[in-house]
Amino acid sequence: MIFLIPSVLFIVLGTLVVKYEMVELLAGYNEKKVADKKGMARWCGFNLILMGIINITLLALFSVAQIGFSYVSFIYMAVIVILVVRTVIGCRRYEY
């Protein structure tokens, strides 16, 4: 399924951010504004991994339930938007 590709990408990107503190991969990252790089790496990385895991779980449930593609697309996008907003708001803690 096409939704599996971004899910795996989220997990890989999240692992790189957590394990190697590669916060430079994140859009809008500005080293001058970040007070706690390690904390931000943990927060963003774990949220990216969470997005990937939740999406893979949703895909598995949708495959079993045989729900229509439009419903899958809507719920998938809603989950992504909610988790992105949560991540962005949480990242504010690590800025000056």
Q: Above 80 in pLDDT, residue 67?
A: no
Q: Which amino acid is at 80?
A: I
Task: From 21, 25, 49, select the one nearest 37 (Cα to Cα).
Answer: 21
pLDDT digits (tens, 9 = 90+) for 37-63: 999 999 999 999 999 999 898 888 888
Give the residue, 1 or 62, on which the prediction is more confident.
Answer: 62
Count of CB atoms within 10 A of residue 6's CB?
Answer: 15
9 pLDDT tier (thresholds 50, 70, 90): very high
Q: What's this model's pTM, rounded to 2 decimal places?
A: 0.86
| pLDDT score, position 62 | 80
